[in-house]
Chains A and B, each alone.
Chain A
Amino acid sequence: MLPEETLDVLRQKITITDHPRELAVEVMFALQKHYGYLNDEAVQEGAGLLNLSPLEIEELATFYDFIYRRPVGKYCIHVCDGTVCWMFNHQSVLDYISQKLDIPLGGTTEDGCFTLLPVGCIGYCDQAPAMLINGNLYGPLTPEAIDAVLKELRDKQPPQKEDR
């Protein structure tokens, strides 16, 4: 169950919104933040809050790039594989992080801190190669810059409240 405080905020928004379904993504993000990913319980809970069927939540959850139906780490590292990052060898960034964290692409570190994922262009083309971690953009990436980011994040788990 979501914490009562979060539920109150969502219920209030749902009450005053003409079309509560408009809040589907916001509700999914809130559930994901609480559970770490959108598990089956979260799908049911989201459906109940919005008066939708679990299937309607499921079809949204499986469509979007930033809703996870399987467990992910506290920090999702999305390495951009857009055309400009490709030109600046995004593969070397993926390889470096993969080696550094000892996880394959799509994998999660044993301590549950990091998940490594690819992502389509993140709109940071002037700073290529680039990556996105919990809503924050990083680039241009070098091994040193990557080391610094990973260290900073590992040192400050759990994520800050405003991070997703």
Chain B
Amino acid sequence: MASQQPLILQKPLDQTLSLKEYRRLGGYEALNKVLKAYTPQQVVQTVMDSGLRGLGGAGFPTGRKWSFIKKEAPFPRYIIANTDEMEPGTYKDRLLIQHNPQALIEGLIIGGFAASAEKGYIFIRPAYEQGARILEKALEEARQAGLLGKNILGSSYSLDLVLHRSAGRYICGEAKGLVHALEGKRPHPNIEGHLAGEGLWGQPTIVNNTETLSYVPSILNNGPEWFQNLARSNTAAGHKIYSVSGRVRRPGCVELPFGTPLCEIIEDQAGGMQPGYEYKTCLPGGASTRFLPKQHYAIEMDFDSLARLGHGHRFGTGSIIVFDHKTCLVGAALNLIQFFARESCGFCTPCREGLPYLRDLLRRIEEGDGKDEDLPALKSMAGHLSHAYCAFAPGAAAPVLSLVEDFREEIQEHIAQKGCPFRQDFQDGQENSH
């Protein structure tokens, strides 16, 4: 039986755990153990054995990422927590840092030890200024307690942690873009060279998602098998913070085993749909995943289950945006593309030109000027975005492709009726929401 016990989210969620409270819950025991009895390679192996995967969307195995920094790699080395989180619908890291900042700090120190890093950063977006202030306080508490700085807990390991405030741009969440941003350069992505070899200032660097790092202490505390066994599905490991938003009764974040069925998360945790609304679809993992057709309502929420559906379905960040039967998906896709078109760094042509083109097509359809030939044009242009330089544009295309492939009739209705068939319902819905 998988554990339902939260690991990094304790109750009540709207309070910040102090260092004292975190320690009472077993916090920093893992760091103490690591510094006393582990080599960096043993830490990497433990995390690798646990099956922990990157929770920022890509799902890359964390231990493997850490193993890319070889023993003979040059110094200095860096570790960075990515708290940029700008994907619409995704807000798990905000809740996490406001509620349990010490879990992130301990995870960063252990990850830093594994990489033999001497300096670490928490890269945070400006919309999370409240969280940044909490982290500043938490970092100071940790410093005062000898958990940061020179000779941590009396060991030979030293790590300096810096909170780096960003000025806000979606592409900063991409690892190389983030590194450029930290270097005070324009944060364009760069797919050449690996961060483990050429990261911050050209030195070996690890960039991990905030949630991913926050799970590291509990893995070292309880062992890799324990973490593996927390998941409900066979091919996944551990827990996950699912953030649920949209037309549900109780939107919020909840920590559950990987592989918890979507229907359980929506109904049991988020209280089901708001009165008068029926479930139509969801984006299961944030704005750059596909709309999930209704027949998959009971799917196990993990990386492999979504990937097995094929057609580009992805688990993403596990941030579920729920759409009801009165909400227009053409309008939703238009909103998403407007966001991505605005946030594109403009570095490469498919993204710079393709996203505004898609936006204009969707806008025409939504406003009643759509034509039959717009449908194949949407599909073809969204498909071309896979030729962009980085993953930003293909991610942006995902909801549009699923709109064309799985909810085609909504587009056709717009074209046939020369307008949005949901508009009246939609307006009614908005009035009800206030």
Measured between C-beta atoms, what is the minimum distance from A128 to chain B in Å? Answer: 7
Measured between C-beta atoms, what is the minimum distance from A130 to chain B in Å? Answer: 10
A42 CB–B CB distance under 8 Å: no
- Scan A58-89; emit 1 where CB is below 8 A from any B CB, else 0: 01100111110000000000100111101111
With contacts A64-B168, A83-B339 known, what are 19 further pairs, Cβ within 8 A? A22-B182, A22-B184, A25-B184, A63-B345, A64-B167, A67-B167, A81-B338, A82-B335, A83-B88, A83-B332, A87-B321, A87-B327, A120-B343, A123-B86, A123-B93, A123-B128, A125-B321, A126-B244, A135-B130
A142 CB–B CB distance under 8 Å: yes
Instruction: Provide the residues of chain A in CB contact with B87, threshold 8 Å.
Output: 121
Instruction: Provide the residues of chain A in CB contact with B187, threshold 8 Å.
Output: 63
Within 8 Å by CB of B335, from A63, A81, A142, lies: A81
Measured between C-beta atoms, what is the minimum distance from A25 to chain B in Å? Answer: 5
Instruction: Provide the residues of chain A in CB contact with B252, threshold 8 Å.
Output: 126
Instruction: Provide the residues of chain A in CB contact with B184, threshold 8 Å.
Output: 19, 21-25, 50, 52, 60
Within 8 Å by CB of A19, from B88, B168, B183, B246, lies: B183
B130 with A120: CB separation less than 8 A: no
A164 CB–B CB distance under 8 Å: yes
Within 8 Å by CB of B332, from A22, A59, A86, A126, lies: A86
Q: Which interface class (under 10, 10 to 19, 20 to 34, 35 or more) fits B?
A: 35 or more
Task: Determine the distance from Cα of A143 to Cα of B88 in the docked complex, in whole angstroms.
Answer: 24
- Scan B70-94; emit 1 where CB is below 8 A from any A CB, else 0: 0000000000000001111111011
Within 8 Å by CB of A124, from B91, B133, B244, B434, lies: B91
Residue ID in chain A nearest B95 by CB atoms: A126
Inter-chain contact total with CB atoms closer than 8 Å: 143
Name B residues whose Cβ lies closer than 8 Å to a Cβ of A: 85-91, 93-94, 125-130, 133, 164-170, 181-187, 201, 243-247, 251-253, 283, 287, 319, 321, 323, 327, 331-332, 335-336, 338-339, 342-343, 345, 430, 433-434
B183 with A21: CB separation less than 8 A: yes
Task: Determine the distance from Cα of A50 to Cα of B342 in the docked complex, in whole angstroms.
Answer: 29
Given A89-B433, A92-B430, A122-B127, CB of A84 within 8 Å of CB of B182: no
Task: Determine the distance from Cα of A23 to Cα of B182 in the docked complex, in whole angstroms.
Answer: 8
A19 with B91: CB separation less than 8 A: no
Task: Determine the distance from Cα of A82 to Cα of B283 in the docked complex, in whole angstroms.
Answer: 13
A136 CB–B CB distance under 8 Å: yes
Measured between C-beta atoms, what is the minimum distance from B143 to chain A in Å? Answer: 16
Name A residues whose Cβ lies closer than 8 Å to a Cβ of B: 18-19, 21-26, 28-29, 50, 52, 59-60, 63-67, 78, 81-84, 86-89, 92, 119-126, 128, 132, 135-137, 142-143, 162, 164
A19 with B430: CB separation less than 8 A: no
Given A25-B165, A81-B335, A84-B245, CB of A66 within 8 Å of CB of B126: yes
Within 8 Å by CB of B129, from A18, A60, A89, A135, lies: A135
Instruction: Provide the residues of chain A in CB contact with B430, threshold 8 Å.
Output: 88-89, 92
A66 with B88: CB separation less than 8 A: no
A87 with B332: CB separation less than 8 A: yes
A142 with B321: CB separation less than 8 A: no
Instruction: Provide the residues of chain A in CB contact with B166, threshold 8 Å.
Output: 25, 64
